[in-house]
Amino acid sequence: MKQRQLLVTGCSRGIGLAITGRLLDEGHRIVGISRLPPGIDSTRFSHVETDLSDLDRLPHALRELSNQYPDIDAVILNAGIGRFGSLEEFSANQIRQLVDLNLTSQVLLAREFLPKLKERGGGDLVFIGSESALRGGRYGTVYAATKFGIRGLVQALQEECSTSSVRVGIINPGMVNTGFFDELDFRPGDEADQHLVPDDVVEAVLLMLDARQGAVIREINLQPQKRVIRFD
């Protein structure tokens, strides 16, 4: 890839941090969004402290961001949270928090940057989805609903962008061994073939971004070779 300026959400840890670090290593300029700074020391990295779940001010914050960085030509939509349990265990506020961050904020990000990518003559929107976007599972009702929503959004955007040079894709990883599970009561298995690592997702992101102009990789589904879930 030629040097690009990319926006990465959820850049402070886990998959987002791995994506940011790899893209910087590749020589690109990165604008990272997260609530906490990721501790990256690079002249090609700019951090924007933004709470994507604050929907009252998010549209204004995104407009300021896109005006401040008009050269962004790819957006990696990675930010999200996980909360699991039987549906009746969720409060209305907990449901809203999941939907606001995992789905609504992603729609607002795409709405803000898509017109600018079209004006530039092309670019990429890469969504980090989940295996929960492919199949709902026990105790994952609300989480799966948000990820199914993202996958539907991507499929619709792919049709909307089919006559432009904007490429839209989604990566659906299984369980990735990150801090995502620190506050949950389950996690993937410890063996190397029982979980994914962030670099697995990074390679999929690069595959989408590196695709020949005129070609689009619409969806990538990643799984560990063996599906093992440990309960704490």
Tens of pLDDT, residue by residue over 101-149, are 999 999 999 999 999 999 999 999 999 999 999 999 889 999 999 999 9
pLDDT score recorded for residue 179: 86
pLDDT band at 181 (very low <50, low <70, confident <90, very high): confident
229, containing H or E segment: strand 229-231
pLDDT recorded at residue 59? 97
Residue 110 vs residues 20, 39, 144, 183, 199: alpha-carbon distances, Å: 19, 26, 20, 29, 24
Q: What distance in Å separates the CA atoms of residue 195 and residue 172, rounded to the nearest whole number? A: 14
- Using alpha carbons, list the distances in angstroms from residue 77 to 50, 65, 193, 194, 221: 14, 15, 26, 25, 16
Are 58 and 106 contacting, i.e. CB atoms less than 8 angstroms apart? no
CATH of the domain at 96: 3.40.50.720
Which residue has tokens 């989408």? Answer: 208
Range of the domain at 214: 5-231
pLDDT at 186 over 90: no
Residues of the chain with pLDDT > 90, as a percent, come to: 91
Average pLDDT over residues 18-42: 95
DSSP 131: G
Structure confidence at residue 190 (pLDDT): 93
Confidence tier at 183 by pLDDT (50, 70, 90): confident
Residue 4: pLDDT over 90: yes
Q: How far apart are CA 5 and CA 213, in angstroms?
A: 17
* Cα separation values, 140 from 29, 64, 87, 209, Å: 36, 35, 8, 30
**Per-residue confidence (pLDDT) for residue 168, from 0 to 100:** 98
> What is the Cα–Cα distance from 107 to 84, expressed in whole angstroms?
22
Can you give the pLDDT at residue 184? 83
Taking residues 48-73, what's their average pLDDT? 96
Rounded CA gap, 194 and 229, in Å?
8
Tell me, rounded to whole angstroms, the distance of Cα 73 from its chain centroid.
16
Pairing of β 74-77 and β 45-49: unpaired
pLDDT, position 1: 65
Distances (CA, A) of 129 to 31, 115, 144, 154, 226: 20, 22, 10, 10, 20
What is the total count of domains within the chain? 1
Q: Is the pLDDT reported for residue 88 higher than 70?
A: yes
- Average pLDDT score over residue span 44-62: 96
Nearest by Cα to 108 from 153, 67, 72: 153
Residue 223, phi then psi, degrees to nearest 5 = -140, 145
Look over the chain and give the mean of its residue pLDDT values, rounded to a whole number: 95
Asked whether residue 9 carries a pLDDT value surpassing 80, the answer given is yes
Residue corresponding to tokens 């009252």: 56
Residue 98's pLDDT band, with cuts at 50, 70 and 90, is very high
